[in-house]
Each structure stands twice: as C-alpha cells, then as structure tokens.
Structure 1
Amino acid sequence: MTAPAREIELLGIPMAASNGRIDIYSGVSRMAGKVWGSLHRAATPSKTVVAVVHPASNFLGHYLLAPLARRGVDAVGLTTRYIGNDSTLLMENCVLDIGAAIAFLRDRGYERIVLVGNSGGGGLTALYQSQAESPSITHTPAGDPPDLTGATLPPVDALVELMAHPGRAIVFTEWLDPAIVDEHDPTRRDPDLDMFDPRNGPPYSPEFLARYRAAQVARNRRITAWVREKLAELAKDPDGVQDLPFTVHGTGADPRFTDLTIEPSDREAGTMWGPAAHANLMPASLAHFSSLRSWLSQWSIDESNCDGPLHLARTSVPTLVMYGTADQVCFPSHAQSLYDAVPHDDKKLLGVERGTHYLSGQPELMDQVTDTILSWLESTGVRA
C-alpha cells in the first residue's frame, strides 16, 4: 500500500573544496559552492533515506524518487558539481561531492542511508564506499588533490548497483572504436578492425573479437600516453595553463550493440542514442570531449581510480546488484562482475525481466524495482 509523498525539497549541499582549479564552466555554479539534491519526503517521517547518484547525469528527477516516497521512505536524487558536463570531470571530486551529501543527510537526522549507483553511478558508489571505509587515494592520477584519506566521507549502510557498469574507464574502453587510425580524422579507418564493415560481421568471429578487444585497449593506452606527454610539456611552464581540452572520436563501438549473439539477452540491437554507427560519432553520445586531467581520472583504463569491482572488494555493507535483461548499456556480465567482487555473503544479484537501461516507458518495472529494493532492505535489517 502506498501513500502520497509529503513534499519535495531542493537541497543545497555545501560543496567541498578540491584542488583550486576551475573545472566548472558556470561562474554561478562555482560561486554558489553547492551540489544539489532533490529530497522526496514520505507522508510520515522516515529515518531511512535512499540516495541515487551518477557522476554527471541529472538525477534530480530520477524515476525511483517518487515511488520510494509513496512507499514510506525518503529519497534523494543527487548531482555532482559536474551535472550535465563531464568534460573536466574528476572522479575523486565526485567522491567529495557524495561525501558532502552523505554528511548533510546524517546531519538531517537520518539513521540509515542507502546509496544507489545507477548506470555510471555503479563504479562511483563502489569507489565512494571503499574510500569511506578504508581511504587509500591521496591524489588524482595526474597527481593533483584531493587527498581522500583526509576527506570527510561518512560510510553508508547499504549499496545498490542498479543497471550499473563497473566503471567509466572500463565501459568506455569496451565502446572505444579501434578502427580509427587518426585521432583527428574519424573517417580514416582500419578495415580489419571495423565492426561496421559488413565483411567482419555481425556475427563476429572469435578471432575478430579477440583482435578487436585488444585493439580497443591499445587505443586507450595510446591516448593516455599522448595525454601524459602533453601534461609533461605544460608542466615546463608552471605559470602557464596546466590542462587542455581535446576530442575523442568513435566512442560507441561495442560489438554487443550489433551482434546479439554476444552475451545474449532480451535487448534490441543498437544503443540508447540509436543505431551504433550513428552513436559512435554523434557529439551527444559518450565521452567525445575531455580535458587531459579528466582523461586520466575518468577514461584511462590503466589510470582511473574508478574500478567498481576493485573497490567493491574493499567494502563491508549489504549490497544489491540489479540488472535489466533488455539493457543496451550495462550487460549481465557487468552485474556479475560487481556481484562477484563483493567479499561477503550479504549480497544479492537479481535480473529485471525485460528491463531497459532507465526503464523508460516501463512504469510497472519501476514499481517492481522500487518494491524489490525496499523488500531487500527489510530483509537485511537496513530498513526496520
């Protein structure tokens, strides 16, 4: 039985300082010094709050918020300082922003806080709880602050990995187009590594896939090496600019998008942005714009700190992993890797039949996911 939500409150959460660099375009946002959340209150007072987060997406209107409040649990859609623009995003600053939000909610009197990582929030919430329980990261991959070992990072009471992937650098590398041979011209392509060349498939042979996956990692590493070279050049003038923007072409080329025989599921061919051949190059899809420092923190397969399984293995709280069987973004193997990494037995892995990535147009599944989360919290004792 559900009840109307009591009210919605916009939360202005004081933002922790990071490294002094300007990495937010908007002067209004910088001067406000806040990250934002939307609190959906239950009709009766709740001592438990569920907070949903992503590194850059706007979750102020997340689909879980109203259903949770109607069922008697307060819910918060969180943002980070990078809402809507991840071109200069540092994962370590996102951890600071979550820490500020969790401390804010503790000060509000919530006794139990559940952190939900949806989509790219999966790896981030794992990183957060890892650093909250056993802080170990003293700087970004570029050597900059923040030092998370000295930050205020209150641990949460439970984690939910919802239609989540293991981390932005991991999934980005799985999507990176290895056929691009000129970083400045995406039309120059290696036909032997082109998943969009019908001579290669779909379906794709095991031999092609092995070469393809290796070439994706190799391209990621070439970009990282170039980034390191550019940063070393900039460092020669300590009074000059210490970061630069650049473009990455071809970021939507996972063979699973077009070959449904790879990791079979209920998904349709394509991506959230339409056909893979279009999403691969369109500006509005994943990770086409980055700064040098952001690349190392966010997209470098070897240097990013945001490795979900690595950090989940350092956590101790109850963990629920849910995946959609029709998800075109986060695949069952992603969920399995997150689940397998949890080092204790207070964990659960569940598939949402026919569930797409954001359950768009699937209100009955939104209710099902909400009920499942609350039932699981009751079974673990997190929600009394």
Structure 2
Amino acid sequence: MKRILELMVVLVSLAPAGSYAQFSAAPHSEVATRTTFVRLADNANAIVIEPAVPNPAKRRIGLLVTHPDRINNFNYFTGLALPAYGYTVMILNYYGPEQTYDEFIAPIAAAIRALKALPGVQKVVMVGHSTGGPEMTYYQDIAENGPAACREPQRIYKCRAGDLAGLPRADGVVLLDSNSGAPERTMALNPAVDPHHPRRRDAALDMFDPKNGFDPATKGATYRPEFLARFFAAQSKRANELIDEALGRLRKIENGEGEFIDDEPFVVAGASLYVNGARPELADLRLLSRTHSSHLLLKADGSTPVQVIPLVMEPRAAPQDENKLFQTTLNVTVRHYLSFQGLRTDPGYALTENDIIGVQWRSTPNSIQGNLEGIRVPTLVMAATCSPHLVLNEIAYDHAAAGDKAFVGVEGANHGFLPCRPEYGGTFGKTFDFVDKWLSKPGRF
C-alpha cells in the first residue's frame, strides 16, 4: 500500500490540474463503511458512503460531493476520505449534456433532498473540490437568493431553467483548492494566436517566446512589465470579443436566423480547460505568488502560524501543448461558451503579485468568487500552496458574504492535497483533520 501511494503521489504531482481531480489517492482507512446506491431524477444518481457503525455526534451532518464534466465521481477522494471521520457522504453523478450551467441545479436539489431524508441527517454541507466548487456555489447562491441571483443585469448568460424558487439550501460550504471556473479559462486565453490559423503567433504577445522573457529549459520566465501590460490588455480584449461574438450568434439563433434552431458550434483556438494554455503566472512565479493577507497555514512541521502564505510551486508552463487540438482549443457550442466560459473583464485587467484586477466576477455562473458574494452560510476555503489556485482561492474568500468564514493554506499540498515534495509529507491528513475540526465545531451546525 505504501508503494502504491508513493507512485500515485508522483502521478498526481505531474498531471495537469483538472485532469486528475477525482483520482487523487486517498490514504487507506481502517474504518469500515457501507455504500448504498441512490437513484435520482434528471440524469443523475448517487451513492451514500457512511460508517458501518454510526457516529452519534457526526451523523447529523451529511456531506455532498460532486464534480462536473460527466465523470464518474464514485471514486472521488473527498467522498472516500470523509466517512472515516464519521460523516455520511453522498457522492453525486450527473450524466446530462452540460450544455448550460443551469443543468446542475435540479440534480443538486434532488441530492440535497435525498441526503436530508436519510435517518439522522439534519444538516447538509457541500464539499467542492476543483471545478466542483463553482458548480456547488452557483447552486447555493440561487438557493439562498432565489432566481434573481442568476438573472442580474451583469450576467452574460442568464439562467433559463424553470422553477428555481424554493430550492433546498445547504447549511454550509467547504471549498478544497477549488478551481475558479470561467476566470481560469479567461486566464488561459492566448492572445498571440491567430484565431483562423492557430499555429501562427504574434511574437509581441507570445509568452513562450524567449525574446519576451521565457526560458524553454526551465519552463520559467521573467517577463518585463511592458510585455505583461501588453499581454493582459490583449487577453482581456480577446475575452470580451469572444463573448460579444457568441452573444451575437445567440441572438441570431433565437431569432431563427442561425445555422441551427437551438445552438451552434463554437470553436476557440488558443484556449484551454486545464492548468496550461497562455498563463504567464505558470512561468513567471512572481505573479500570484502569495496571499495579500495573513491566514492560518498548516505547515509540514506541525505548526500553524497565521501569516502571508507563499506559493511553493515550481514553474509549469506548457509550451509543448501549444499546437495540440485537445490541449489548447475549445470545441464547444455558443450556449456552452456563454454559460461556462464567458467572463467579462474591464480596462486595467491584470494579474499582480497577489491579486487579479479588472474582473466582473458575477458576470458568469462559473465563478467561485462571484457566487460566494451571495452565500451567507458558514464557509471554509482551503488552498494548497503547491497549486496555482492559491491566490484565486483567497480572492474567493474575500468575496464570501458569510459572517462565519475561514481561509486556510496547506503547505506543500498539490491540487489533490498530496505532498508535492517528500519533505511536505502528511498534507492529506492535515487537510482532512482540519475539515473535520471545522465541521464539528460546537454550534456551527
């Protein structure tokens, strides 16, 4: 078992975030559990994993785990780790087309109802890892605030689902190194790419060109301020132009003037769904390199100081992915792009050492930062310091409306909360021990 875990640590450390999210290794637990299959409506089903011997103090809190992309979540490491602490965990699978973000609402509502109907369960807490974070927080924003939350003027693609009033609410939210969703898609747009001839590059905007500060040998970079200013301005322009193009095509579709009556293909060259693409912060580690405020840090030596939290990630820019169809091209539809990917940016959009400025966070449903503005239930945000989501998760914490909220860093953890280097060993246990401590605090739930 030890050797298997060591191999999985290496594999998880090398894989691009997003491609391995649900496959991180969960250390073996000696706690006996039982698993029950639950059939749900709306192209969804679930399993419930609970201790074989119920924990009287913790069975009252049911945890909901899910992740989009039509993957099999039943082996998700969060859902496998948490029953060992005494909690009842429901893991949700959704099999629909994922044409728009609204599709997630009905399955999550059905799962919460089913979880609350289980014997002994009184409270439900959502546990969102990776892109499960935006999905769950979008639901909770609407559950707390009604359909007006997803039909605000700044929304690019307003919700069009049927009855969104009276959705069952979760009682808390836990985000574990959540992917931001559309913000990270925007951050991956490559403004140097000719959209009609993807292998052609504008050298003045190419972050992989050594003349602009990139080092192919290390995959790192030291970009000059003038290059970054030019790059971010062009990236922002590209993001808004894509939204405007998609909105124009949507109007034609809805007026019966499109090529099809319901939707159309929408292909974006120089874009990515993974932690790759044209992201200068993956090469120049001065960008998004630390939190702007002090927070609790779970350190490898067992101490828990409150401090500004630094990123410990190595450069991981991926120029080898540039001309690969499935690595740096989105092949989606107009509606999907507007609902999942579109994020408005403002003049001055840029990444700094510890922030992202010039972003309209609530312009999309696929944004933990925007969604948390409408969520008031207790919220825990945990970030892995060996993952590129650190500063993005702090921004989400800053936007959270909850009065009871916490931000915690896990030193040396990768996206799956395994240690990115041997000297950071024990990160997985530290993470879930803290989640357990937070969930079980008297009076919180």
Residue 216 (structure 2) pairs with residue 170 (structure 1): no
What corresponds to 1:128 in structure 2?
Answer: 139
Q: Distance in 1 between matches of 2:163 and 2:343?
A: 21
Residue 23 (structure 2) pairs with residue 8 (structure 1): no
Residue deviations 1:91-137, cap 9 Å, x none?
Answer: 12112321221122122342111101111222222222111111113
What corresponds to 2:392 in structure 1?
Answer: 334
Indicate the RMSD between aligned Cα atoms, in angstroms.
2.6
Per-residue deviation at 1:225?
Answer: 1.8
Report SS of the residue matched to 2:199: coil
What corresponds to 2:282 in structure 1?
Answer: 257
* Distance 1:269-1:11 versus aligned 2 partners, 3 A rule: farther
Per-residue deviation at 1:286?
Answer: 7.1
Tell me if structure 2 keeps the 8 A contact 1:131–1:148: no
Q: Distance in 1 between matches of 2:90 and 2:428?
A: 16
Report SS of the residue matched to 1:248: strand
Q: Distance in 2 between matches of 1:380 and 1:337?
A: 28
What corresponds to 1:77 in structure 2?
Answer: 91
What corresponds to 1:268 in structure 2?
Answer: 314
Residue deviations 1:291-322, cap 9 Å, x none?
Answer: 10011111111352333223212221111110
What corresponds to 2:168 in structure 1?
Answer: 154
Per-residue deviation at 1:325?
Answer: 0.5
Tell me if structure 2 keeps the 8 A contact 1:158–1:382: no
Q: Give the unaligned 5+ runs of structure 1.
A: 16-33
Report the TM-score, using the length of structure 1 for normalisation.
Answer: 0.83
Residue 245 (structure 2) pairs with residue 230 (structure 1): no
* Distance 1:287-1:382 versus aligned 2 partners, 3 A rule: farther
What corresponds to 1:206 in structure 2?
Answer: 225
Q: Distance in 2 between matches of 1:255 and 1:380?
A: 44
Per-residue deviation at 1:160?
Answer: 0.7
What corresponds to 1:352 in structure 2?
Answer: 410
Q: Distance in 1 between matches of 2:72 and 2:416?
A: 13
Residue deviations 1:5-30, cap 9 Å, x none?
Answer: 32122332111xxxxxxxxxxxxxxx
Q: Distance in 1 between matches of 2:328 and 2:126?
A: 24
What corresponds to 2:262 in structure 1?
Answer: 242
Q: Distance in 2 between matches of 1:144 and 1:318?
A: 25
What corresponds to 1:23 in structure 2?
Answer: none
Tell me if structure 2 keeps the 8 A contact 1:43–1:72: no
Residue deviations 1:216-261, cap 9 Å, x none?
Answer: 1211111122212322333343795321123222221111111222
Normalized per residue, the structure richer in strand is: 2
Report the TM-score, using the length of structure 2 for normalisation.
Answer: 0.72
What corresponds to 1:22 in structure 2?
Answer: none
Tell me if structure 1 keeps the 8 A contact 2:102–2:159: no
Per-residue deviation at 1:371?
Answer: 1.2
Residue deviations 1:160-179, cap 9 Å, x none?
Answer: 1110133x221110111111
Tell me if structure 2 keeps the 8 A contact 1:67–1:367: no
Q: 1:180 aligns with which of 182, 193, 218?
A: 193
* Distance 1:310-1:212 versus aligned 2 partners, 3 A rule: same
Tell me if structure 2 keeps the 8 A contact 1:113–1:156: yes
* Distance 1:68-1:143 versus aligned 2 partners, 3 A rule: closer
What corresponds to 2:336 in structure 1?
Answer: 294
What corresponds to 2:385 in structure 1?
Answer: 325
Residue deviations 1:244-295, cap 9 Å, x none?
Answer: 123222221111111222233111222xxxx511344434447722110011
Q: Distance in 2 between matches of 1:52 and 1:280?
A: 33
Tell me if structure 2 keeps the 8 A contact 1:122–1:308: yes
Tell me if structure 1 keeps the 8 A contact 2:253–2:261: yes
What corresponds to 2:50 in structure 1?
Answer: 41
Q: Distance in 1 between matches of 2:40 and 2:408?
A: 33
Residue deviations 1:319-366, cap 9 Å, x none?
Answer: 1110000014x1x21111111112344111111111111235778322
- How many percent of aligned residue pairs carry the same amino acid? 27
More deviation, 290-299/66-75: 66-75
